[in-house]
Amino acid sequence: MPKILSVNAGSSSLKFKLYAMPAETVIMSGLVDRIGHSDAVFTYDYQGTHYKKAQAVQNHTEAVQLVTDALLDSGAVRDKQEIVGIGHRVAHGGREYTQTTKITPVVQQKIADLATISPLHNPVNLLGIEAFEKLLPSASEVAVFDTSFHSTIPPKAYMYALPFEYYAKYGIRRYGFHGQSHQYIYSEVNRRYDQDFSRKIISCHLGNGASVCAIRDGKSVNTSMGFTPLAGLVMGTRSGDVDPNVLPFIAEKENFSADDIRQLLNHQSGLLGISGVSNDVRDVLQAEADGNDRAKLALQIYVHQIQSYIAAYTADLGGLQTLVFTAGVGEHSAPIRERVCAAFGYLGVKIDAEANRDNDLDISAADSRVKVLVIPTNEELVIARETEKVLDS
């Protein structure tokens, strides 16, 4: 069976999963964490055993060397040639890449050029691509863009009401992210349920980063992240939507540069910024239970913003059949799901308290008019599927 490696390279981490396709069997999965540090950690799971090694890892090439050595030494692959494809998660495909694309030098250059609008992610995604190119040259490399799934969003939802020239000159528009996750959610709803539940879906990806996506007939028609992954929902440390005039106001008052403002919006805002406690929903819930008023307020704003998007997207979809929660918070936090759903009695959303507490797949009450699901996301699998599709075409 052909083997496909799914790769997600971040600034200091590299996650991977090796699949046997088309069976979609996971052969090995792992993570090199704290790349660039002397106390980096390499963990992987193979044949039911968990391995962990701590050692210095200077850069992404060293991280990829560790991964390829582990794949060969463990026997997961006997020969490098067995890995026919490597699918890379790439954050931003801009206007150019509306589909998964085989990586060529031209594509690599375009991914590099798109760093002007995705400075935090595209350059590190490229580091992963370059390292695998060096160490597994026989495998075809494929870019699976976060933005591609959202290429079906219509102009009325992706344009900002700025002077048109900025769209023309710089491609300033909504792109959306977490595409692999929302695509997986659609594929799971479609696989498990009939058309009465799969034609109008709202997918809530609530992790460190968070976004909501409206999916009609398998296609994204709107999503809460925008030109960058900062827009939309309140996140761990990201602000989500704010009145744009607040930014020059703060910059003038505090004598902040554009970089200071970016730092404030991306790293000091969100749940952390409001609560002053943590970016982690678990900590903020605990603080709320301990009587911390700012933690309580942070959670109210967090939930309210999710509700606002669900309500708006119900209009985009002309109704709602299935509401899905996924990612760290969506998959594990019963109180957040319960609070979000509490606003939608008017739509006929009703959840079963026990099923919700147990993080069951289907948490809707028997008489709910909308199906409410908890589906663990699987972005790596979408990357492997997309890679296989491109290699077969």
Between 262 and 332, CB nearer to ligand ADP: 332
In the complex, least distance from residue 205 CB atom to ligand ADP, rounded to whole angstroms: 8
Residue with tokens 């290429």: 151
Query: What is the helix (H) or strand (E) element at residue 158, kind and residue range?
Result: helix 155-158
In the complex, least distance from residue 72 CB atom to ligand ADP, rounded to whole angstroms: 28
Task: Report the residue number whose CB is nearest to ligand ADP.
Answer: 328
Asked if 142 contacts 4 with a C-beta cutoff of 8 angstroms, the reply is no
Between 12 and 208, CB nearer to ligand ADP: 208
Query: What is the helix (H) or strand (E) element at residue 103, kind and residue range?
Result: none
- Would you report the helix, strand and coil content of the chain in percent, each value rounded to 5? 45, 25, 30
* Sign of the CA dihedral running 114, 117, 123, 129: negative
Between 61 and 266, CB nearer to ligand ADP: 266
Between 71 and 340, CB nearer to ligand ADP: 340
Residues that bind ligand ADP (CB under 6 A): 207-209, 236, 280-282, 327-329, 332-333
Between 10 and 93, CB nearer to ligand ADP: 10
Asked if 309 contacts 232 with a C-beta cutoff of 8 angstroms, the reply is yes
In the complex, least distance from residue 377 CB atom to ligand ADP, rounded to whole angstroms: 7
In the complex, least distance from residue 169 CB atom to ligand ADP, rounded to whole angstroms: 32
Between 57 and 233, CB nearer to ligand ADP: 233
In the complex, least distance from residue 50 CB atom to ligand ADP, rounded to whole angstroms: 18
Q: Which residues pair with 118 in a beta bridge?
A: none
Which residues have a Cβ under 8 Å from the Cβ of 194 and sit 6 or more positions away? none
In the complex, least distance from residue 8 CB atom to ligand ADP, rounded to whole angstroms: 9
Give the strand pairing for 83-90 and 219-223: unpaired
**Residues 376, 384: Cα–Cα separation, whole Å:** 17
User: Distance between alpha carbon 264 and the CA centroid of its chain, in Å?
Assistant: 21
* Nearest Cα residue to 148 out of 180, 113, 125: 180
Q: Which residues pair with 51 in a beta bridge?
A: 44
Three-state secondary-structure class, residue 304: helix
Q: Is 146 a catalytic residue?
A: yes
Residue 207: φ, ψ to 5°: -120, -145
Query: What is the helix (H) or strand (E) element at residue 210, kind and residue range?
Result: strand 210-216
In the complex, least distance from residue 207 CB atom to ligand ADP, rounded to whole angstroms: 2
Between 61 and 208, CB nearer to ligand ADP: 208
**Residues 215, 327: Cα–Cα separation, whole Å:** 17
Q: Considering 39, 113, 146, 358, which one is annotated as catalytic?
A: 146
**Residues 31, 117: Cα–Cα separation, whole Å:** 27
Tell me the C-alpha to C-alpha distance, in Å, between residue 60 and each of 12, 28, 35, 120, 134: 8, 19, 7, 15, 11
| Active site residue ranges | 146
